């Protein structure tokens, strides 16, 4: 299966940091090349409060860019409780709350702070009925516990665990709580057995695909700045693993994203 097959398909990059400063020098051409490769929409998660305005602005400038607002667990040193108010006030223009969650990697910030901000965003999701974009690095079990306690019940899905790296059993527990599971560039690495096994085993109805650009480049771009157009390679790998067609995988991911984030279906129409 070649990546070229995707050129005529439409695909949503469900997690891309399009506001990242690393895109400042050539954002317009990054956008154009993604569009020409079939990327019809990008969901852009926020990390800290001071980025909210930039993301909102990008959404007015670039058709198909959908903003979110959230306070990322890796940046607790930047967050203030007042930022939760800004977040609440920004939400009417956002398709989700995120990126939020917990991070227990080496670079972790204070876990108590992380739990405070994640808990507050879960509450906000409940009152505003918005889906969550969740980061759960080395912390899937802790995240699961908080999601269980929060007991959200949004009909079209409570959110997505992005760049999932937990176990199959944990993925199923998340799906049972009405969360989607998302995968990106790491599944394109032939040696990523555990991740690739997850994609093989999980149902397409529960999965979405993303780039997380400019981070997490795929195997063919390792060491480089990741770009939204390379979502095609993530989809191609997923199709191989699912022994499915690129079109089937792309449309399943699109369908899940449209329903979860309440995006316009018209995104998938036209050339
Ligand atoms: Zn991210």
Residues with CB under 5 A from ligand 1 (ion): 212
Q: What is the mean pLDDT of each run of 10 residues along the chain (271 residues)?
A: 56 98 98 96 98 97 98 95 98 97 86 96 98 97 98 97 98 98 98 98 98 97 97 97 96 97 88 50
Range of the domain at 71: 3-268
Distance 135 CA to ligand 1 centre (A): 7
In this structure, what CATH number is given to the domain that contains residue 184?
A: 3.20.20.140
Give the model's pLDDT for residue 1. 43
Give the model's pLDDT for residue 106. 78
Asked if residues 69 and 94 have their Cβ atoms less than 8 Å apart, the reply is: yes
Distance 52 CA to ligand 1 centre (A): 14
Give the model's pLDDT for residue 253. 97
Distance 242 CA to ligand 1 centre (A): 24
Distance 240 CA to ligand 1 centre (A): 25
Distance 16 CA to ligand 1 centre (A): 7
What stretches of the chain adopt beta strand conformation (E)?
11-13, 39-44, 65-67, 97-103, 132-137, 159-161, 179-183, 207-209
Total of domains in the chain: 1
Distance 163 CA to ligand 1 centre (A): 8
Burial of 133 (0-12, 13-18, 19+ CB in 10 A): buried
Give the model's pLDDT for residue 8. 57
């Amino acid at each position: 299966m070649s990546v070229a097959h995707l050129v005529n398909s439409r695909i949503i990059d469900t997690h891309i940091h399009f506001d990242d400063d690393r895109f400042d020098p050539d954002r317009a051409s990054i956008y154009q090349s993604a569009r020409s490769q079939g990327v019809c929409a990008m969901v852009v998660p926020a990390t800290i409060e001071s980025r909210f305005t930039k993301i909102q602005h990008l959404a007015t400038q670039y058709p198909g860019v959908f903003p979110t607002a959230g306070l990322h667990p890796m940046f607790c040193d930047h967050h203030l409780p007042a930022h939760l108010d800004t977040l609440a006030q920004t939400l009417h223009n956002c398709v989700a709350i995120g990126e939020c969650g917990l991070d227990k990697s080496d670079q972790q910030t204070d876990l108590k702070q992380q739990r405070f901000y994640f808990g507050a965003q879960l509450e906000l999701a409940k009152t505003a009925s918005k889906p969550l974009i969740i980061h759960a690095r080395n912390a899937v079990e802790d995240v699961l516990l908080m999601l269980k306690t929060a007991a959200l019940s949004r009909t079209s899905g409570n959110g997505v665990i992005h760049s999932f790296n937990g176990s199959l059993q944990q993925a199923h527990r998340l799906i049972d709580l009405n969360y989607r599971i998302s995968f990106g560039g790491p599944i394109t690495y032939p040696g990523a057995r555990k991740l690739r096994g997850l994609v093989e085993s999980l149902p397409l109805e529960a999965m979405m695909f993303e780039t997380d650009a400019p981070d997490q480049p795929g195997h063919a771009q390792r060491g480089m700045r990741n770009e939204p157009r390379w979502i095609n390679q993530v989809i191609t790998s997923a199709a191989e693993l699912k022994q499915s067609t690129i079109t089937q995988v792309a449309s399943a991911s699109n369908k899940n994203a449209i329903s979860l984030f309440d995006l316009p279906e018209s995104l998938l129409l036209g050339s």
